[in-house]
C-alpha cells in the first residue's frame, strides 16, 4: 500500500484523485467498486474504517462532476445505429 493509505480500497480512491481527465470516470468507478466490495466482505469494517469509507465516498461525489456524466449503458450503440 502507498504511504498514507491504511486500507487496500484507498489505493483506488487515491488513483481517482490522481487520474488524468481521460481516465477519471473509469478510476472513480473502480474506486466505488472497491468500496462496495469492502462493504460486502468479512469481517465488516470497524468504526474507523467506516468513517474512512464515508469520507472517501463524499470525496468521490465531489470529484465526479469533473469526470462528466456517467455513460448510459447502450448509448454508444444507439449513436452508431442512428449514423
Q: What is the pLDDT of residues 25-63, one digit of tens each?
A: 999 999 999 999 999 999 999 999 999 999 999 999 999
Q: What stretches of the chain adopt beta strand conformation (E)? A: none
**Cell matching residue 25:** 470516470
The whole-model pTM stands at 0.81
pLDDT band at 77 (very low <50, low <70, confident <90, very high): low
- The CA distance from 72 to 70, in Å, is 6
Binning pLDDT at 50, 70 and 90, where does residue 80 land?
A: low
Work out the angle between the directed axes of helices 10-17 and 47-63 (0-180°, nearest 10). Answer: 20
How many Cα neighbours within 13 Å face the side chain of 43? 4
Give the pLDDT band (50/70/90) at residue 66. confident
What 3-state class would DSSP assign to 2? coil
Amino acid at each position: 500500500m502507498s504511504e498514507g493509505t491504511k486500507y487496500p480500497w484507498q489505493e483506488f480512491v487515491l488513483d481517482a484523485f490522481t487520474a488524468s481527465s481521460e481516465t477519471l470516470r473509469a478510476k472513480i468507478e473502480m474506486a466505488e467498486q472497491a468500496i462496495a466490495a469492502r462493504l460486502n466482505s468479512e469481517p465488516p469494517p470497524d468504526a474507523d474504517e467506516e468513517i474512512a469509507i464515508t469520507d472517501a465516498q463524499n470525496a468521490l461525489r465531489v470529484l465526479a462532476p469533473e469526470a462528466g456524466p456517467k455513460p448510459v449503458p447502450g448509448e454508444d450503440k444507439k449513436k452508431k445505429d442512428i449514423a
